[in-house]
Amino acid sequence: MKILFGVQGTGNGHISRSRELVRRLKEDGHEVQVIISGRREEELREIEVFQPYRVLKGLTLVTCRGRMNYIETMFRLDFLTLTADVLSLDTAGVDLVVTDFEPVTSLAARMKGIASVGFGHQYAFPYHIPVARGNLFEKYTLLNFAPARYNAGLHWHHFDQPIFPPVIPETLYRASRPPEDPKKVLVYLPFEELEDVDAFVQPFREFEFYIYGKVKEGFDYEHLHFRSYSREGFLNDLMECSGVVCNAGFELPGEALHLGKKLLLRPLDGQIEQESNALAMVELGYGMAMHSLDREVLKHWLGQPGLPPRNYRRTVDYIAEWIGSGRWDDLRTFTDAAWSENASGKT
């Protein structure tokens, strides 16, 4: 099958999960062409598996100091370029479009009448899952930013809905992992200012905080260890740590749950997806949430034990099988199989 695959480049989580599915689809013999949008090409890292790929402007949501900035987002929307990018795509012979919340390929599928699959956490929201209150614009944006005809939604729990478990990087399935350090905490709060994160964790000197952020080179300062993003280094620190403090995105919390790391989420204000994720995390009893960099919450969380590993199975195997089968209306068969064969069971 010839597949046009769109990747939202604004978040490392989109790239991480799409990397796994693209690799699997290629292994199954499909011809996959990739479009990445939302970030400049020079800012993208470790995307060799996507070749051949093109990088386009797409659409980007703007944030400032932990909050969504909808006014700035509206000013930066460039529908003329978006339309030109869509028209520039060569879709001759394309059998299926797969979009990981990527608007160029989503719009191309609609304009050219090509079957499309939405792949990612955002595509779980049409189903009955925990959803935070939000204004109509937020809800409309989430459901219509990059819609698809068929939804391969992902979530940490099935909620008795036809959605898949999280996609876990292959590295985290390996049998030999570094030993866990009970005093090591991984911190990834990319929407916060680095000085705010520094002040947030500084008082807790009995713990070693590994903070990933916008630094050119990593450095250590007493019990604080600042790191620039490196996929290998990040996953190694994730395996070694006892807990993760992060925004309420989807991929990183899923990886932490897979490994049995305790979680403290700080949802991005005004972003309904992240606020819904924080709500779900608390309702499921999988972790804690805070709506500001609250030291009292952090102090309480640091004293909490971790949970047993969820041990999610290789979700991309089931999604790739579903895509390759052509039985796109028969989603439940494949999602049920993914959960029933999950090591942690349908619980």
- pLDDT, one tens digit per residue, over 236-279 is 999 999 999 999 999 999 999 999 999 999 998 878 899 999 99
- Residues 190-211: what's their mean pLDDT? 95
Residue 168: per-residue pLDDT: 94
Domains and CATH numbers, the chain: 2-168+313-340 (3.40.50.2000), 171-302 (3.40.50.2000)
H helix or E strand, kind and range, residue 96: strand 96-100
Phi, psi (rounded to 5 degrees) for 78: -130, 85
Rounded to two decimals, the pTM is 0.90
**Per-residue confidence band for 61, with pLDDT thresholds at 50, 70 and 90:** low
Phi, psi (rounded to 5 degrees) for 255: -65, -40
Structure tokens at 5: 């695959």
Is residue 63 scored above 60 in pLDDT? no
Q: How many CA atoms lie within 13 A of 120 on its CB side?
A: 31
The neighbour count for residue 283, using CB atoms within 10 Å, is 12
pLDDT digits (tens, 9 = 90+) for 151-187: 999 999 999 999 999 999 988 987 678 899 999 999 9
The Cα–Cα gap between 24 and 129 comes to 28
Quote the DSSP letter at residue 50. G
**SS3 for 164?**
strand
Structure tokens at 293: 């960099």
The Cα–Cα gap between 97 and 34 comes to 10
Structure tokens at 120: 């990612």
Q: Nearest Cα to 254, choosing from 311, 211, 173?
A: 311
Most confident by average pLDDT, 71-75, 159-163, 343-347 = 159-163
Quote the DSSP letter at residue 80. H
Residue 144: per-residue pLDDT: 84
Non-local (6+) Cβ contacts of 94 within 8 A are: 2, 3, 4, 33, 114
**Per-residue confidence band for 80, with pLDDT thresholds at 50, 70 and 90:** confident
Residue 327: per-residue pLDDT: 96
Is residue 112 scored above 80 in pLDDT? yes
The Cα–Cα gap between 222 and 69 comes to 35
